[in-house]
């Protein structure tokens, strides 16, 4: 099988062009190929496919084989892949995901995509739709006990579920201890992506993320969007901010005009290869 390794801010996936390749067991392939010692090594597997609703369809599988609804970093790389490999000549494309249709605006230099702006749609705040086991209308700054410690958590779905909490120093935060327990907390029937955030100022947020099915990753695009929304709701940031992740920075804006969240960031091809499955 031919593949391309790509990353968005270090959130790395294996991309397969399903116009040319057939992946019969994507969940199993994701587990095997994502292994950083015995496989290619990645946070998961992304399939680029035909769609009857959009220009392209994206399916993505975490490194544990579970299928995820969306990934902001991965979809930027899909945009770069389809343009750079001449599957499209359009600078604006629409991509079908399990989280709905997403619109991508491609920033092109010398015939290649360098930045992608993604319309991530409207944030979902109703707990039953995120989903969160709560009877409240929203889940904003609610106490959640993890490992004997209380965290004031705000939950947002950006096509997949996120729980955002604020800490004083995110660099020193024991994410490897708290993250996996937050992920499987009984509040979250489909598990959760957990973001822990340090507010630098009203235009700068620093975060780390524990992704369900993958553990700590260098970046999470939907997570960064959820962090900006949560920060606006908690009154700690404006509606546009730089979100600093371990792998680099994303510009996130929650538009008052249409209530959509927009994410801008890079997409990078690392290498191409062929593997015997």
Structure confidence by residue, pLDDT tens digits, 97-141: 999 999 999 999 999 999 999 999 999 999 999 999 999 999 999
Fold match between 2-121+265-274 and 127-259? yes
234 assigned to a ligand binding site: no
Q: State whether residue 232 is helix, strand or coil.
A: helix
The whole-angstrom separation of Cα 212 and Cα 7 is 18
Q: State whether residue 227 is helix, strand or coil.
A: helix
The whole-angstrom separation of Cα 210 and Cα 89 is 36
Q: Pick the catalytic residue: 29, 71, 77, 155?
A: 71
Q: State whether residue 88 is helix, strand or coil.
A: coil
Predicted local distance difference test score (pLDDT) of residue 277: 85
Is 71 among the residues known to form the active site?
Answer: yes
CA 213 distance to own-chain centroid: 12
133 assigned to a ligand binding site: no
Question: Residues of the chain with pLDDT > 90: what percent?
Answer: 99
Structure confidence by residue, pLDDT tens digits, 150-183: 999 999 999 999 999 999 999 999 999 999 999 9
Predicted local distance difference test score (pLDDT) of residue 268: 97
Give the residue-averaged pLDDT of 230-245: 98
Q: Taking the CA of residue 238 as centre, how many other CA atoms within 13 Å lie in the half-sphere pointing to its CB?
A: 9
Domain layout of the chain by residue ranges: 2-121+265-274, 127-259
Q: Quick one: pLDDT band at residue 212, thresholds 50, 70, 90?
A: very high
- The CATH number of domain 127-259, selected from 3.10.310.10, 1.10.357.10, 3.40.50.720, 3.40.50.1260: 3.10.310.10
The whole-angstrom separation of Cα 107 and Cα 204 is 23
160 assigned to a ligand binding site: yes
Mean pLDDT estimate for the chain:
97
Predicted local distance difference test score (pLDDT) of residue 190: 96
DSSP string, 210-246: EETTTEEES--HHHHHHHHHHHHHTTSS-SEEEEEET
Q: Quick one: pLDDT band at residue 210, thresholds 50, 70, 90?
A: very high
Question: Residues of the chain with pLDDT > 70: what percent?
Answer: 100
Q: Are the CB atoms for 202 and 169 separated by under 8 Å? A: no
Give the residue-averaged pLDDT of 43-55: 97
The CA angle 158-21-104, to the nearest 5 degrees, is 30
73 assigned to a ligand binding site: yes
2-121+265-274 carries CATH number 3.30.930.10: no
Q: Quick one: pLDDT band at residue 204, thresholds 50, 70, 90?
A: very high
Is 220 among the residues known to form the active site?
Answer: yes
Q: Pick the catalytic residue: 77, 155, 220, 225?
A: 220
Predicted local distance difference test score (pLDDT) of residue 155: 98
Structure confidence by residue, pLDDT tens digits, 250-261: 999 999 999 999
Compute CA distances 268 → 23, 33, 97, whole Å.
23, 19, 21
Tell me the pTM.
0.92
Predicted local distance difference test score (pLDDT) of residue 218: 94
């Amino acid at each position: 099988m031919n593949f391309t390794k790509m990353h968005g801010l270090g959130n790395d996936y294996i991309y397969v062009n399903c116009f040319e390749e057939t992946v019969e067991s994507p969940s199993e392939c994701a587990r095997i190929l994502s292994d950083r010692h015995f496989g290619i090594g990645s946070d998961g597997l992304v399939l680029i496919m035909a769609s009857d609703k959009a220009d392209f369809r994206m399916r993505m599988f975490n490194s544990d084989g579970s299928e995820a609804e969306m990934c902001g970093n991965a979809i930027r790389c899909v945009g770069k892949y389809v343009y750079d490999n001449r599957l499209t000549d359009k600078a604006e494309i629409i991509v079908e995901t399990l989280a709905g249709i997403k619109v991508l605006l491609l920033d092109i230099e010398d015939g290649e995509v360098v930045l992608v702006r993604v319309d991530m749609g409207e944030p979902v705040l109703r707990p039953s739709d995120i989903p969160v086991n709560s009877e409240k209308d929203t889940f904003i700054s609610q106490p959640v006990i993890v490992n004997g410690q209380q965290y004031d958590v705000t939950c947002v779905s950006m096509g997949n579920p996120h729980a955002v909490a604020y800490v004083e120093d995110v660099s020193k935060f024991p994410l490897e201890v708290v993250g996996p327990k937050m992920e499987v907390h009984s509040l979250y029937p489909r598990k959760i992506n957990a973001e822990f955030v340090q507010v630098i100022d009203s235009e700068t947020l620093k975060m780390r993320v524990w992704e369900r099915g993958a553990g700590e990753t260098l970046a999470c695009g939907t997570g960064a969007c959820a962090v900006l929304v949560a920060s606006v709701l908690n009154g700690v940031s404006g509606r546009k901010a730089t979100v600093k992740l371990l792998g680099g920075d994303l510009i996130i804006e929650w538009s008052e005009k249409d209530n959509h969240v927009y994410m801008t960031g890079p997409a990078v091809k690392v290498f191409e290869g062929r593997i015997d499955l």
